[in-house]
Structure 1
């Protein structure tokens, strides 16, 4: 397959990733407007966000088996169609229960769209081009959480909340037509029997943990309820792991975790994802609730994280070529930890230009780390094992991303016990810096030759 077609497929899948990521975060800004429309408190809209994230977490593990049975082209096209149709139905909803059901349907499309789309890219991409392909797939996860608050604010200010969903329609139609032309047909496999016990344990365990994450993000989640869901989730996941290590044909094949590069990408990489996904959640709160900035100024400042993401993108491949994965991951995670530590020192008297420089630097570290982690994950995975490894990677990444906001919220509440005003935010950013520093330590233990088989030759 030609390089241009490989690139176009990667761009197509990246576009669908952006839709899925944006819809997971943009609704928060529109919650008051939707609440007024339905006659319910704005906090009640949180159930629609939780329902979407729960559906993603629960169904992603099933995507690998479905793809084997139906083929990635058919599943990917169906996922785009379901997501687009569900977006229309969300916009047409007239009550909170109706919107929640439509969000579950939207989550079904997203759960298939993300891992299957990435698998389609991995299957047509040569190892030599893997870094460039993964770099394209990484930007939606970087951009969507950053632009969502501003985009949601603009849409609800100058239009109505319905357009948050309706903007997916033209994007979905374009993506569907492009997928028809670009995604190659492939022979369908005959998968082994579905691991029903593994499916039940994994899905209920992941669902419990994601719901726990949404509880932890609330101001008063209730101690007994939190402990109950935490114990249930951990217990079910423990049983799921024990079962899938013994099962002949497990739902999630955990053998990929024996590969050093894959294990790094989803151990230290998960800590990195947790921390960096919490930053866009904390910054608008700090700017508006403590510094007194307007929502517009707050959203504009957070966009400089996106500026840093974009600014470093053209240099990512060159950095990996010149220094290798180990050095780049160490530098990216250490730099990200440093920027979070510096965020803990921000005050309302900090000059705006200095805030902009710090947030841009944060975006640079964020983008470089995401690209390096996501690329090295598949460096040593054989093509015959790619479907299983991709399903496991998608599941772990979705859980890590889903807990980002929860970790930020918990750190912020713990900070309330130690300080007042912006001091609670200082504590929260310091906690995030420590988590990211732990990822740096794991990268330090990585073999110097890790990822060399996909590292582009120096010129």
Structure 2
């Protein structure tokens, strides 16, 4: 593959970093800013707040589906062209979200947004890789990763503020000027590149994988319904699982699979991917459930509900400098087994919430959850990729990103399905609060199941740097 020369003016390269960081910021901000606004959206659209999880699932699922094709698209059409198309898709989806008069149209618009978001970071990272020499790449990606912390930090509070003092539509309108600035900057600072010698795209494998992910996710989401909806969801779930199995068989005999079967010969990658998926099913539902229970069952206004998510991000940032030292001291297996157990207990601990619950105690719970979640992400992501050969690092990173987004979407879908089922089960005046309590307990137990997977790692193994630099958390 032809690589563009690294000889570029320092100012142009710095501007490129800011541009890619802006794209990452847009993607991470939008992944969190919506959560606080869900009850307001439900009121305007005439829906139940407990049925709004599809707004989040659609975004995560669209990202998971397109991520495997991101590298090929960038090679085939050029990084600048694809990056600009990603921004345009994201802005178009944002406008459609703001104008949506119904839940169905809002979900469709979130799919458009997710397709754009799926390309922003992978293609931006590829542009940085081609613009910076190897010895400067880790430092460059560390700079780009900073917005990944800032977006979740301000997203819930900003969303709550907009809902309380303007309307939920502004959480989407705000993307328009940012996106337009990004388009202008991309045309100015991201060099146009001709098509690379892209390998032949495995269209059959991609179709099987994409349909499988969509079928399983939508099948799980639809299981909360009754009658025809539940039967249709079951059929979709079976077809999705069959499609994923067919992809696995196809990859074994394909000369050019999306993800080479040799990747799965690495034990740490296998354990890391499965651990990522199952432990995220529970923890990924928390940013959806916490703002919802605060507003629907505990009577918090949107801004206050958004601000209550700040301890989660602050706890995440506080533990980050200590993660490497902790893993070096105890080893990956020991840290992941103990931390997964602690994370599961923290998720379950929110089942005790009730009207009048001390705000300080909940803030402490959220801070501890954020710290445990950050420890989990950092250790899981690194163990997944650390033993890959450099030639497989990019493909492994794409596979990890896909699994992360799929697990995030399915975690929210599972939480939504349990919430709806439990609300129908309880008939007393506290039906909704009791539904939340049972759902917190269920999601914590799902997280706990991942401890069995991490026991498969070798004992007392210290960390090793990832071959392509820092791994973004999501």
TM range (shorter): 0.7 to 0.9
- Counterpart CA distance in 2 for 1:9 and 1:324 is 37
- Quote the offset at 1:446 in angstroms: 1.0
Deviations 1:158-186 (A, max 9, x none): 22444222222343355556667887888
Match of 1:432 among 420, 430, 443: 443
Are the aligned partners of 2:163 and 2:302 in contact in 1 as well (CA < 8 Å)? no
Are the aligned partners of 1:305 and 1:360 in contact in 2 as well (CA < 8 Å)? yes
- Counterpart CA distance in 1 for 2:465 and 2:303 is 43
- Counterpart CA distance in 2 for 1:281 and 1:35 is 14
Match of 1:58 among 62, 65, 71: 65
- Quote the offset at 1:267 in angstroms: 0.6
User: Which runs of structure 2 are paired with 1:23-422 in the superposition (5 Å)?
Assistant: 23-24=30-31, 26-27=33-34, 30=37, 41-42=46-47, 51-72=58-79, 74-88=81-95, 90-91=97-98, 102-119=109-126, 137=145, 140=148, 144=152, 148-173=155-180, 175=182, 189-216=196-223, 222-413=229-420, 415=422, 417=425, 421=430, 422=433
Change (3 A) 1:312 1:114: same
Change (3 A) 1:69 1:435: same
- Counterpart CA distance in 1 for 2:135 and 2:339 is 23
- Counterpart CA distance in 1 for 2:15 and 2:336 is 27
Change (3 A) 1:319 1:78: farther
Match of 1:445 among 436, 456, 459: 456
- Quote the offset at 1:156 in angstroms: 2.8
Q: TM-score when scaled to structure 2?
A: 0.78
Change (3 A) 1:401 1:82: same
Q: TM-score when scaled to structure 1?
A: 0.80
> Does residue 16 in structure 1 map to residue 27 in structure 2?
no
- Counterpart CA distance in 2 for 1:127 and 1:190 is 25
Structure 2: 5+ residue stretches without partners = 1-5, 468-474
Q: Secondary structure at the match of 1:333?
A: helix
Q: Structure 1 residues 188-197 or 366-375, which shifts more?
A: 188-197
Q: Secondary structure at the match of 1:447?
A: coil
Cα-Cα RMSD = 4.2
Change (3 A) 1:299 1:351: same
- Quote the offset at 1:436 in angstroms: 2.1
Are the aligned partners of 2:224 and 2:420 in contact in 1 as well (CA < 8 Å)? no
- Quote the offset at 1:129 in angstroms: 8.3
Q: Secondary structure at the match of 1:56?
A: helix
- Counterpart CA distance in 2 for 1:221 and 1:150 is 39
Matched length: 453
Structure 1: 5+ residue stretches without partners = none
